[in-house]
Structure 1
Amino acid sequence: MSDTDALNTIIELENYYTGVKNDLIGEPSEMVDKAWHAHILNTPMYFNFCESNFGYYLHHIPYWTGGSEDQQTQAIVSSLEFQIPMYTKLKNLGLQHLNETVWTYKSIELNYNIKKKDDL
């Protein structure tokens, strides 16, 4: 990620946090999620940030946990409201100058070293 991309992603992470402060429920984009992961790594700083900005610890629930979340989380994730992209919700909240690329970028991960069971 270039320095410019990193800066834009951090700005959009701040926008995501603004959405959380305004009770918006939704997923960050792939790039925003990477920035969130980096933020969480300094756990004491992240904990203090959460307490001072939200009044509680903002947990990150990875998408790959599948059905292991509690019933309340499952209800949220399967709701129609959750299906609306966070980018759209932030625009509707009135945030201006959102970086659409940061919110819509999807990486394509290809791994040619993995062989299918049939190929073995």
Structure 2
Amino acid sequence: MANKFQPGIKFNRIQDFLNYLDEDELLIVDCLRNMIFEEIPDVTEKLSYNVPFYSRKQRICHIWPASIPWGNTPLDGVQLGFSKGYLMDHPAIEMGTRKEVGVLIFHKLNEIDEDLIRSLLLEALMIDNES
């Protein structure tokens, strides 16, 4: 059963989520997922709110494509969200009006700075290790 913030959407498996995405979003999501698994090999991937969240001790990050709605909140591009973004000191991380979660937003695959993402993932991992 879909929740009220995502009418008509309910994924039971990661593959269902991936199959739902258009080609541009899928390329970005695949790239981000690969980096997450490479930098945090023991991470657990689990669907929550119909998008993948990644955790070890606690939630570390998530990937949220704009095609997966959340109520009336307008989404744009593919968000790589860091659960403890407020503890990460990097100008690329956008906090917006959020108190904890910081995001980077990608519209095209070539916007992804792999070195930056890998560095931020390692920082998020260190924060998780300290929790």
* TM-score normalised according to structure 1 size: 0.26
Query: Which protein is bigger by CA-based radius of gyration?
Result: 1
Q: Which protein has the bigger helix share?
A: 1
Q: Which protein has the bigger strand share?
A: 2
Q: Which has the higher contact order (CA 8 A, sep 6+)?
A: 1
* TM-score normalised according to structure 2 size: 0.24
